[in-house]
Amino acid sequence: MKNILMIAYYYPPKGGAGVQRTTKFANYLNKLGYNVNVLTVKEEAKGIVDKSLNKDISEGIDVYRSDIKEINLMSNMLNVLNKKNSNNNISAKDNNITTVDKNSLNTKMKKTIKNICKSMFFNVYNMMCIPDDKKGWIDFAVDEGRKIIKCKKIDFIFTTSGPYSSHIIGYKLAKEFPVKWIADFRDPWVNNPFVNNNFVVESIYKKLEKKVVQKADKVISVSQPIVNEFLIRYKNEDRDKFHVITNGYDEKDFKDLNLDLAYNNEKFSILYNGTLYGKRSPKKILESIDNLIETKKIDKNKIQIKFLGQIGNEHKGIVNYYKDKYPDIIKNQSYVPHEESLKELSRANSVLLIIDEGKGSEGIYTGKIFEYIRTGKPILGIVPDGVAKELIYDTNTGYTAYPSKQDEIQKMIHSAYRDFINKSNFIKPDFDKIKQYSRENLTKKLVDIIEQIK
Give residue 397's pLDDT: 97
Mean pLDDT within 195-221: 93
Of the pLDDT bands very low, low, confident and very high (cuts 50, 70, 90), residue 17 is confident
Of the pLDDT bands very low, low, confident and very high (cuts 50, 70, 90), residue 88 is very low
Give residue 92's pLDDT: 42
Q: Does domain 251-436 have CATH number 3.40.50.2000?
A: yes
Of the pLDDT bands very low, low, confident and very high (cuts 50, 70, 90), residue 360 is confident
Of the pLDDT bands very low, low, confident and very high (cuts 50, 70, 90), residue 99 is very low
What percentage of the chain has pLDDT greater than the value 70?
90
Give residue 54's pLDDT: 92
Does the structure show a pLDDT above 90 at 351?
yes
Mean pLDDT within 202-213: 96
* 168 burial level (CB within 10 Å; 0-12, 13-18, 19+): buried
Common-topology check for domains 3-70+134-248+438-452 and 251-436: yes
Give residue 194's pLDDT: 72
Q: For the chain, which residues make up each domain, given as ranges?
A: 3-70+134-248+438-452, 73-128, 251-436
Does the structure show a pLDDT above 50 at 86?
no
Please state, rounded to an integer, the average pLDDT across all residues of the chain. 90
User: Domain 3-70+134-248+438-452, what fold?
Assistant: Rossmann fold (3.40.50)
Give residue 98's pLDDT: 43
CA atoms within 13 A on the CB side of 23: 24
Name the pTM for this structure: 0.89
> Which amino acid, one-letter code, is at 351?
V
Phi/psi of residue 29, each to 5°?
-65, -40
Q: How many angstroms separate the CA atoms of 39 and 160, rounded?
A: 11
Burial 247-273, CB ≥16 within 10 A → b, else e: bbbbeebbeeeebeebeeeebbbbbbb
Give residue 95's pLDDT: 41
Give residue 128's pLDDT: 80
Outline where 153-300 has alpha helix (H).
165-176, 199-215, 224-233, 283-294
Mean pLDDT within 306-333: 95
Mean pLDDT within 396-401: 97
Give residue 76's pLDDT: 54
Give residue 195's pLDDT: 76
Give residue 96's pLDDT: 45
Query: Helix crossing, 165-176 with 199-215: angle to 10°?
Result: 40
* 349 burial level (CB within 10 Å; 0-12, 13-18, 19+): buried
Give residue 387's pLDDT: 97
Nearest to 357 by CA among 280, 413, 287: 280
Give residue 235's pLDDT: 96
Mean pLDDT within 273-293: 94
Helix or strand run (H / E) with residue 269: strand 268-273
Q: In DSSP terms, which residues pair with 249 in a beta bridge?
A: 438
By mean pLDDT, which of 147-161, 236-250, 395-409, 418-432 is the weakest? 418-432
By mean pLDDT, which of 57-66, 225-234, 355-364, 445-454 is the weakest? 355-364
Taking every pair of Cα atoms in the chain, the longest distance, rounded to a whole number of angstroms, is 69
Of the pLDDT bands very low, low, confident and very high (cuts 50, 70, 90), residue 78 is low
Give residue 358's pLDDT: 84
Give residue 257's pLDDT: 93
Please give the full DSSP string across 372-437, using - where no structure is assigned: HHHHTPPEEEE--SSHHHHHHHHHT-EEEE-TT-HHHHHHHHHHHHHHHHTT-------HHHHGGG
Higher pLDDT, 88 or 50: 50
Contacts (Cβ under 8 Å, ≥6 apart) of 408: 401, 402
Helix or strand run (H / E) with residue 322: helix 313-325
Of the pLDDT bands very low, low, confident and very high (cuts 50, 70, 90), residue 309 is very high
Higher pLDDT, 446 or 123: 446
